[in-house]
Amino acid sequence: MPTTTPLLQIENLTTSFQTNDSAVQAVRGVSLHVNHAEILAIVGESGCGKSVTALSILRLIPIPPGRFESGEIKFNNQDLLNLSEADMQKVRGNDISMIFQEPMTSLNPIFTIGDQIGEAIIQHQNTTKGETRKQTLELLYKVSIASPEIRIDQYPHELSGGMKQRVMIAIAIACRPSLLIADEPTTALDVTIQAQILNLLSSLKQESEMSILLITHNLGIVAQFADRVTVMYSGKIVEEASVDSLFESPMHPYTRGLLNSLPKEDNKSKLESIPGSVPHPAYLPQGCAFHPRCKDAMPRCQKQPPLSNLKKESTHKVACWLYEECVKEVR
């Protein structure tokens, strides 16, 4: 029976890294949720905290220098930040898996792909050699690798980039996780292969009701594949909405800037870029972190950060002084 409790619920997560001088917050008070069988995209430029958020979920942040300053990460109602390392190890791969943007460096060059997928199966299930090989072949079929009987005994260097990413997906889904975190899964691939990989993820989600947390800087990918979207800037969530609502009525100036930088349908209009770049987390400007790049900035924006996750309505949230809802909250 479908449940309304989110599969993953992050509340007020702050993740920092100790440097020689101070603790630098890469993720600052992030709250988000992923529902069962949905694709939630986190978008933003490099350095906005997307990947640190993902690595925090799996507790793959090196501690020290990393530290979880505050927050909770509830997955199936257990707080991952309070689990022992042994229990967390069971969650990784069994319940939550991750695929990274660089399949070339994620696979071990000295083992066959069959060995590497098989290892993921054996780690979490007590299967015999024959059963492991059978399941490995099934997974290769599932991720649409042609001639799996041949490919299973090949080494990573014998596969194309797209095939390597399919192998990474096979490893990630080997134990049927309920949540797959895909961190820029297609960045290193050409456009045609990108679409194939994203279609594959989408159909795996349909088949198995798996949820996907898709991390990307590409709003075009979000429009095609995600159900909901969260926009991050300088370690904070600045806007959250369904994909339809975000594309129809983007509210935050940063989101509007990202959308304006997408190629237009007529392919003739000039692409607009957002001036400047994401500030280093150690040198955040006062007030709204986006104000030095924002053409709508007001004097107030330089002094006071807008509250996070303020509501326009229950499903479309924005944190920006342009909106009456944000102003009302602090009155």
Binding site for ligand SF4 (CB under 6 A): 252-253, 288, 290-291, 294, 296-298, 301, 306, 320-322
Q: d(Cα 305, Cα 60) in Å, to the nearest integer?
A: 29
278 neighbors 48 (Cβ within 8 angstroms): yes
The overall longest dimension of the chain from CA atoms, in Å, is 68
Nearer to ligand SF4, 48 or 204 (CB): 48
**What is the closest distance, in whole angstroms, from the C-beta atom of residue 220 to ligand SF4 in the complex?**
23
**What is the closest distance, in whole angstroms, from the C-beta atom of residue 238 to ligand SF4 in the complex?**
7
Cis peptide before 64 (omega within 30 of 0): yes
Q: What is the dihedral of CA 322, 324, 328, 331, to 10 degrees?
A: 50
**What is the closest distance, in whole angstroms, from the C-beta atom of residue 157 to ligand SF4 in the complex?**
47
Nearer to ligand SF4, 44 or 253 (CB): 253
**What is the closest distance, in whole angstroms, from the C-beta atom of residue 318 to ligand SF4 in the complex?**
9
**What is the closest distance, in whole angstroms, from the C-beta atom of residue 298 to ligand SF4 in the complex?**
6
Pairing state of beta strands 96-99 and 179-183?
parallel
**What is the closest distance, in whole angstroms, from the C-beta atom of residue 306 to ligand SF4 in the complex?**
5
From the list 222, 189, 171, the residue with the least C-alpha distance to 50 is 222
Q: d(Cα 255, Cα 246) in Å, to the nearest integer?
A: 8
**What is the closest distance, in whole angstroms, from the C-beta atom of residue 234 to ligand SF4 in the complex?**
10
Q: Which residues pair with 18 in a beta bridge?
A: 23
**What is the closest distance, in whole angstroms, from the C-beta atom of residue 312 to ligand SF4 in the complex?**
13
From the list 105, 109, 177, 173, the residue with the least C-alpha distance to 142 is 173
Q: d(Cα 94, Cα 214) in Å, to the nearest integer?
A: 19
Q: d(Cα 98, Cα 266) in Å, to the nearest integer?
A: 37
Q: Which two tokens stand for residue 10?
A: 């992050």
Nearer to ligand SF4, 150 or 298 (CB): 298
Nearer to ligand SF4, 298 or 330 (CB): 298
Q: Which residues pair with 231 in a beta bridge?
A: 43, 239
Nearer to ligand SF4, 30 or 221 (CB): 30
Q: d(Cα 200, Cα 65) in Å, to the nearest integer?
A: 37
**Axis-axis angle for helices 191-208, 161-173 (nearest 10):** 20
Cα–Cα separations (whole angstroms), residue 51 to 118, 129, 157: 27, 36, 27
Nearer to ligand SF4, 200 or 288 (CB): 288
Nearer to ligand SF4, 170 or 319 (CB): 319
305 neighbors 45 (Cβ within 8 angstroms): no
Nearer to ligand SF4, 57 or 284 (CB): 284
**What is the closest distance, in whole angstroms, from the C-beta atom of residue 89 to ligand SF4 in the complex?**
41
Nearer to ligand SF4, 172 or 274 (CB): 274
The enclosing H or E element of 136 equals: helix 129-142
